[in-house]
Structure 1
């Protein structure tokens, strides 16, 4: 990549980090940008995943208070998330890149739908809040595994999926939000290791884009209460639909 391309990648990563903090869906901005800058789709996906990793750590730090008394649950869910993230990451690297080229437009479109449905998911979870709490159901572990396999393979809108699954299973929106960040971090860390050793990561892009994403995530968290999320979410969804159409045309 040229110096100008790296500047573009850094600026978009900064924006993606901020979008992740405010509304979610930042990966849907950075991934197509990397493809447009010339990276093959698989390389763009793994580079995007590694670049986004630092922003998850900030999310975990922000929910520290919510993790009190949840050590056992975090360990159980974390093991499932690690297994799912590893499975998805290995699946991405071992299937033909042509297959990913065919699947990725569908995944981008799915992510757009999930981002659009995010307010409905949060509202449904909030309506169920205060329900009977007890032992975590077996189906919840299975659903978390499937969700994190998706996260390891592609990852767009993974947070929305985890929020819905955890909210339904735990009946507590705040706790679901906190665990969503922790499990996203676990899945992303596993992806970082797998992609770092075996994936076609563009480390030059990561070197300039990852710090920018971290700064953007911090700035977005500070501005989250001042920025209207609905117009931003609409813009992300429309952009993702356009990207999906472009990727469909490339197949």
Structure 2
């Protein structure tokens, strides 16, 4: 468990080198702080701060999600929000607090407001959702790849398996968020009975488009190149096929 002043810096460095998302948790009730940290630390690198001063030391560009208590002993979550803005940090921010929201919340630069008490599931869902939203640089090509991955999974798994998979649920949610962000929807690409529906090598869909992005380049009447993996697929010209005679 990574903490503020006096925390294990070697452990923090080791976890962050593993490319885990970094969550800054600011909570002045030590019991709650330690509980929330246990909820998150198996999945994320957690930097735990018990005071606003500790939060300032741990708040840098590596933080992906900041979970702030709105009322601290010497600082407020609102003040920490101002610091995040002043430092121009690109992180998702949620207030996790016992204070019921009021009209002033509308003016706060936050992504979510979660009222205590919260469960482990609530906290994990919150962080996961914020991380999905932070994927702001997704391209049309990447969205097409996500959709292709979803279709491939659906073709291999049964309905009960899909319904029981957290990974599949996250993938669906990520696709929906990306579609909303790009303000695009799927369309069918013009039918071609000779062209495969997907790349035989990487499964990128060739029968769908996202905006003006498709998964292939047409190199000839019966030749296609995948825009994902670069594979070239060529089928025999139907007019040149010979019918075998007995």
| TM-score of the superposed pair, with normalisation by structure 1 | 0.23
**Bigger Rg over Cα:** 2
More helix by share: 1
| TM-score of the superposed pair, with normalisation by structure 2 | 0.23
Q: Could you say which structure has the greater relative contact order, defined with CA pairs below 8 angstroms and 6 or more residues apart?
A: 1
More strand by share: 2
